[in-house]
Amino acid sequence: MDLKIPDCLPKDSWFRKWISLWPTAESPKSFILFSGMTILGACLGRKIWIDQDIHLVRPMLNLLLIGPSGIGKSSAVKIAKRLLAHIPETDRPQFFEGGSTKEKLHRDLVHQPKAILFAPELAAFFSREKYKESLIPYVTQLLDYEEVIELRTIKDNLIRVEDPAVTIMGGSTVAWLQEQLPDSAVSGGFLARFLILNEEKKGQRIANPHRLLSTAQRAKLEKLREETFAEFTQIIGTHAGAMDYDDYDAAEAYARWYDTHEPEVGYLAPFAARAGELVLRLSMILAISCKRSSITKEDIVCATQLYEYIAGRLGNIVVPSSQQGKQVSLVLSTVNDNSMRNTDVIKALKVQLSTADVERALEGLVYSGEILGDRGDLKK
C-alpha cells in the first residue's frame, strides 16, 4: 500500500503542519513524518501511558530508517532534532550519538535517564566486536521500560538507572544491516522493538533549494516554522497521566483491528507480536498531536494505516537479516538466468556454505517459486 501524506493523519494533527515545513527536503516524507513522531514520543517519555493491566504502554518509538546511502536518513533525523531546542529543559531528552559500550551508556543514563540515542549507522553502533557483545541484550532490556535497570560494575558496585526513557533513532542500508548486525539482533527480539521503515527512493531531488523559493516565500516559511515549533512546545504540555479511549467507537475500532490482525510466523513473528503495542503508541502520539488527552476512532484508524504501511515492507529487511535469510539470498544470487544443476550451485558456494545449507535453501526457493526447477535444472 502507498502512504498518502497527509491524508494518513488526523485532520487536526500538528504533523500536517510539520510535513509542510520542509518543501525543499530530499528525504522521503515518511522519514520526516516518523522522525517527528519519534521526537514527540521521546519528549513525552513516561509522562503518559495506556494501562493494559499487566503492563503500561508508553508513547516512545524506536525508529530505524532503512534505505540506500544518500536517501536522506540522517537528514530527516537532523530536521526533527531542531524541535528539541524549542522545548523546556525539564521536558527535553539528552541527545547523544556515536559508539558506546553497555557500561558507558548505563553511566550516561544515571543522571538523565530520558535520552535520545542517535545511531546514524545502527549496525556499526551495535557491531560484532567482542567488547560490544553485551550491548544488544542490555539495550533490549532497556527498551522494555521497566522502572529500574541495574548494572553491577567490575568493582562490584551496583549502579541503578531509575525510570529509563530511552529512544533510539537509527539508520542503515539493507546490505550493511545484513552483513554487520549480529544474528542475535534478529532472533533475540532486539529489532522487534523498533519501528522499521524501509524506503528505496528519495522523496524528490532539489539541486538548489534557494532557487525553489522566492525571498517572500522563504520569509513566510520561516515564520510558519517559528509558529509550528512554538506550538510543539504547547503540545508537549497537553496531558500527563493515563490516557484512555475517547468513547466506545474508539475502543471498538482498536479491538476490531486487533482481533482481525493476522499473526505472522517465522522471522516476522516477533514483530507481529508487538503490532498492537505499536498501534497504541502511534495512537497516543497522534492524539497528543491534536492536543487531546484521549484517543479517538480517527487516531486508531490513522495509526493502523501507518502500521500497515510499515509492516508491508518488513519482509524485505528482516528475513534477509537472519542467518537463514542470508544463506537464501546468497543462493538466489548465485543461480543465474541460465540453467544450473544443484551440484553446480553447491560447488560455486562450497567456500561459504555447507552442502546441507545450500540444499535447504534451494528447496525453499523452488517451493516458493523464486527458482524454477525442472529435471535437475535450476533457473530464476
CATH numbers and ranges of domains, the chain: 14-243 (3.40.50), 322-379 (1.10.10.10)
**pLDDT band at residue 123, thresholds of 50, 70 and 90?**
confident
**Where does residue 53 rank: exposed (0-12), middle (13-18), buried (19+ CB within 10 A)?**
exposed
Which range (19-23, 233-237, 283-287, 349-353) has the least confidence? 349-353
The Cα diameter of the chain in Å comes to: 70
Pairing of strands 294-295, 148-152: unpaired
pLDDT at 342: 80
| pLDDT > 90 fraction of the chain, expressed in percent and rounded | 54
Q: Say which residue, 289 or 1, is predicted with more confidence.
A: 289
What pLDDT is stored for residue 373 in this prediction? 66
Predicted confidence at residue 331, as pLDDT, reads 72
State mean pLDDT over 134-155.
Answer: 87
This prediction has a pTM of 0.84
Out of 22-36, 186-200, 269-283, give the one with best mean pLDDT.
Answer: 22-36
Q: Following DSSP, what letter does each residue of 227-273 receive, concatenated?
A: HHHHHHHHHHTS--EE-EESSHHHHHHHHHHHHHPPPP-GGGHHHHH
Place of cell 476512532: 297
Residue of 174 and 117 predicted with greater confidence: 117
Does residue 354 have a pLDDT over 70? yes
Sheet of 241-242: strand order equals 56-57, 48-51, 241-242
CA atoms within 13 A on the CB side of 222: 7
- Give the tens place of pLDDT for each residue, 242-297: 999 999 999 999 999 999 987 665 667 788 889 999 999 999 999 999 999 999 99
pLDDT at 375 over 50: no
Of the two residues 91 and 128, the one the predictor is more confident about is: 91
Least confident interval from 8-12, 110-114, 203-207, 358-362: 358-362
Dist CA 49 CA 151 (whole Å): 26
The per-residue pLDDT for 298 is: 98
Mean model confidence pLDDT for the chain: 86
pLDDT of amino acid 22 = 97
CA–CA gap between residue 11 and residue 29 (Å, rounded): 17
Angle, helices 135-142 vs 102-111, to 10°: value is: 30
